[in-house]
Every structure is written in C-alpha cells, then in structure tokens.
Structure 1
Amino acid sequence: MHPQSHSAKRLITGFILALALTLIPFAAVWTMAFPVELTFGIIALCALVQVGVHLHYFLGIDSRTPIENVLAMSFAGVLIFLMVGGTLWIMFDLYERMM
C-alpha cells in the first residue's frame, strides 16, 4: 500500500460517499415515496455500494494485488452473509415464538 493511500482527500471523499449512501435509504423509508419492494431494493443496492466504498476508500483495496482483493471481497461476503442470515434467523425465530 502506498503511503498516500489514506490521504485526507481520499478519506473525506469516502466519508461523503458513505454518508450519502446512508442517507438515501433513510430518506426512502422516511418519505415512503416508493413501493415497499422498490424501497427494499434501494436499501440493498446502497448497502452493496457502501461495502465497495468502504473497501476502496478506507481499506485501500484496489486492483494492484488481485489475490488480496479476492480475499477481502470473500471476507466481506462471509460477514454480510452471517449478519443478514443471523438477523433473519433471529427475526423468524421471534416471529414463531410470538405466534
């Protein structure tokens, strides 16, 4: 990794993009301007793009070392699978216990 990979400009750009990708789903839910299916799509798309923003701007993952990119993306995929899968598992279990 180059010493300039975490420059202030790069970090501020990443922060602004991450902030925008956080506010877009909040605004979509708050205003209820879209159908539910489209709102879920907006949330999912913004989440996936935000993972890429974090990997690129904050962790410095780019196309210089392909094997590290594959490992980082695989690790991010496993974490997302565990978080989403665990959340759904808990929510469905709570639903079953409530009924």
Structure 2
Amino acid sequence: MANAHSDGANHGSVKSYATGFILSVILTAIPFWLVMNPILAKSTTLAIVLLTAVIQVVVHLVYFLHMDRSPEQRNSVAALVFSALVIVLLVGLSLWIMFSIHAEMMAK
C-alpha cells in the first residue's frame, strides 16, 4: 500500500515548523500579557486579542496545514472558505434570531 503523502507535495521543513511555532507562541503571549496586565482600555485589548487570533489562524493555515495559493491547494482553500462562510452565516443568523426574539419578548 502506497503512502498517502508520496505525491511529492510540500509538507514543510523543520525551519518552517519552527517559524510557525515561534509565531504561534508570540501571538499567544501578546494577548495573554495584555489581559494579565491591563494597561490598555478594554476595547483596545479586545481588538488586539481578536487581531492576534485572526493572525494566528493564518499562521496555522500557512505553516502547519501548508495552505497556499498553489493550484494543488485550490480545493482545500475552497473548502476552507465555504466552511468559514457556513459558520459565519450559522452563528450570525442564530444571534440575529435570538436578539429578535429577545426584543419581541421585552416589547410585550
């Protein structure tokens, strides 16, 4: 039985994994430090935490899941975008429904 990864695809190097790991640690330490030492306004801290979370997702996709713009990864990127869209719609519409129901219940 042939190895499933024997198609010659790029699966990263030790340097690539080390870079991803170091970036992930830094992107985890920054929000942790900001929350443990509240030197900024809460809204600024929240914005920085959300920004580092989004950057960390990109770091994980690039350095650990090896997603890039190559033609070989087109199906994976399309599946990721579709999944993200479904999740955003599901969460967003659920929140919309809950807030609408709450507003209707409080009006009566």
TM-score above 0.5, yes or no? yes
Which consecutive unaligned segments of at least 5 residues does structure 1 have? 90-99
Specify whether residues 72 and 32 from structure 1 end up closer, same or farther in structure 2 by C-alpha distance, changes over 3 A only: same
What is the aligned counterpart of 1:70 among 72, 78, 81? Answer: 78
Specify whether residues 23 and 74 from structure 1 end up closer, same or farther in structure 2 by C-alpha distance, changes over 3 A only: farther
Alignment of 1:1-99 (within 5 A): 2-65=8-71, 66-76=74-84, 78=87
Letter of the structure 2 residue corresponding to residue 59 of structure 1: L
**What is the number of equivalent residue pairs in this alignment?**
83
Structure number with the higher helix fraction is 1
Q: How far off is 1:31 after superposition?
A: 1.1
Q: How far off is 1:2 after superposition?
A: 4.7
* Percent of aligned pairs sharing the same letter: 33
- The structure that has the greater radius of gyration is 2
Q: Under a length normalisation based on structure 1, what TM-score does the superposition of the two structures give?
A: 0.70
- CA-to-partner distance for each residue in 1:8-31, whole Å, 9 max, x for gaps? 000000000000000000011111
